[in-house]
Amino acid sequence: MGEGDSVNSGEIGAGQDDFALVQRVLAGDHRCFESLVRRHERRVFRVALAVLGNIEDAEDAMQETFIKAFRHLQQFRGESRFTTWLTRIAVNEALQKRQARRDMVSFDDSREAGEKPLPQRFEPWTADPEQLYGKQEIRRLVETAIQALAPIYRQVLVLRDVEEMSAEEAAEALGIKVPALKSRLLRARLMLRESLGAALEEPRPLGTRIVHSAVRMRNMMKMVLTRAAGR
């Protein structure tokens, strides 16, 4: 389904693309703005949540985003997609909000460098995760893993892999260059893979687990004996 396609055929402006709806709002038909909000509320919420990390702040940022978009709608000239324009506003609103609370919370954006080298898990995943966990549980696992990422990684991952924006659009919305976006996306995906791997890897056969446990035990004994000998 492309941008501007309507989910609900009973909606005002159904079948019209975003640009046409914007024109109708600008012409005074404010009901069409609600249709735009319905189409994009989930994306705006996800983007705000990706930047801010909690629902309360994301809600505020979402409200401010749509109010600002409504008040500045005449500035949208259709040069980029409405989605990109709106996402840019959402990112800016969320960043401003985060800036305002910066003295209250410790931030982890500086974690771009210095994490553990990736990847570290090399076991295949179970063939059908949904059979193992069910759809709701998979969603919960995915949400928890995404929320655990540092904001700079969470933002690119949500725009690219949840909202399916192109690299160019996501970079424009975040105000960064495409190579920076791609490099963060690679890292974000690798971190998320590690995190989800813990739940989704195929259980190893008992024999392999026994060998691994024996090796760990031997190493621990060695360490203990070495320390004891050093006393």
Partner 1 sequence: MDTKNMKMISCKEVLANLSSYVDEEVSEELRQVLEEHIAWCRRCRVVFDTTGRMVKLVLDSEPFEVPLAVSARLYTRLEEVLSEN
Residues that bind partner 1 (CB under 8 A): 30, 33-34, 37, 41-42, 45-46, 49, 55, 59, 62-63, 66-67, 70, 119, 122-125, 129, 135, 138-139, 142-143, 146, 157-158, 161-162, 164, 167, 182, 185-186, 189-190, 192-193, 196-197, 200
CA neighbor of 80 nearest in space, from 154, 160, 3, 7? 3
Q: DSSP H helical segments within 79-177, as ranges?
A: 82-100, 129-133, 135-147, 151-157, 167-174
Q: Which residue, 67 or 221, is less far from partner 1 as judged by CB? A: 67
The CB-of-227 to partner 1 minimum distance in angstroms stands at: 33
Q: What angle do CA 172, 178, 179 make, to 5 degrees?
A: 155
Q: Which residue, 19 or 45, is less far from partner 1 as judged by CB? A: 45
The CB-of-11 to partner 1 minimum distance in angstroms stands at: 13
Contacts of 221 (CB under 8 A, 6+ apart): none
The CB-of-229 to partner 1 minimum distance in angstroms stands at: 36
The CB-of-221 to partner 1 minimum distance in angstroms stands at: 29
CA neighbor of 75 nearest in space, from 109, 119, 25, 120? 25
The CB-of-162 to partner 1 minimum distance in angstroms stands at: 6
Q: Omega before 119 cis (within 30°)?
A: yes
Q: Which residue, 70 or 221, is less far from partner 1 as judged by CB? A: 70
Q: Which residues pair with 201 in a beta bridge?
A: 125
